Amino acid sequence: MNINGQTKIYGIFGYPVSHTLSPAMHNAAFEKLKINAVYVPFDVRPDKIKTAISSLASLGIGGVNLTMPYKEICLPYLHEVSKEAKLIGAVNTILVGQDGKLKGFNTDGIGFVTALRKQLRYDPKGRSVFIMGAGGAGKAVAVQFALEGAKQIFVVDIQKSRAHKLVVSLKRNIHHVRVKAIPCVKKEIERTIADTDILINATPMGMKESDQVIFEPQALHNKIVVCDLIYNPPMTKLLKYAKSKRLRHMNGLGMLLHQGAAAFGIWTQKQAPVDVMQKALEREIASQKH
């Protein structure tokens, strides 16, 4: 990579951000398409996020991704927000316009659905979905499923108010979908799983080996599709449950890949080289194991 005075800078704001795999896939894509650009991680402290976002244009940065805990906090600092990001109430991609205006997008939902279609040949239309977690990622997936024509959406969150807020927003903005908040109680969760086509974990539960799954494996019926937005570790306890029952399942790596490809397109107006980005991600994961 040859960095010079014309090199465009892109990156990711998070705290912490040392674990991110995004630089590997974006830099591989820039190299493949011979774009003079570099993607770097920025470890931004929470008390500095307003300053960091406000400084993007003056530093000549072309755009950034946002990860935890900034997807919702960033909204007041942007000049414009896309329709999907408004519905979700969270932004994971900022484009810095030529006029210096900051526009927020959310590519998480479309990234997840693209992965679902490509990896599992599964279409959200007419499906009943149960989403565990109503944070930034959970909201993105819920909104995208509603836009794609899901039949009904169940949501559970340890913070009851968060699930309720998402349900109210979906009912107000997308009228054709049935949506319901479920109490965070084992029996209720297991009852809901029985009435679900696809189960999605959008919580951090599963990142640590000691994390427990909130329901019994027997609750997973034979036709349910199981997805976990976590990609490290690649096989969480939830996905191990699914695999042991020979259910179709998917971790969050495909979502990471396809949300990144969508962000790349927003920044460069070019078709992202998805195969190149995927190989870069796989290489990076393999190198972290050694």
Residues annotated as catalytic (active site), given as ranges: 71
Report how far residue 115's alpha carbon sits from residue 133's, in angstroms, rounded to the nearest whole number: 19
Helices (H), the chain: 22-32, 49-54, 83-88, 108-120, 136-147, 160-173, 186-193, 237-244, 253-268, 274-288
H or E segment and range at residue 56: none
H or E segment and range at residue 214: none
Look at strands 152-156 and 102-105 and give their pairing. Answer: unpaired
CA nearest to 136, candidates 217, 23, 255: 255
Look at strands 61-66 and 198-201 and give their pairing. Answer: unpaired
Cβ of 183: how many Cβ atoms within 10 Å? Answer: 12
Look at strands 61-66 and 93-96 and give their pairing. Answer: antiparallel
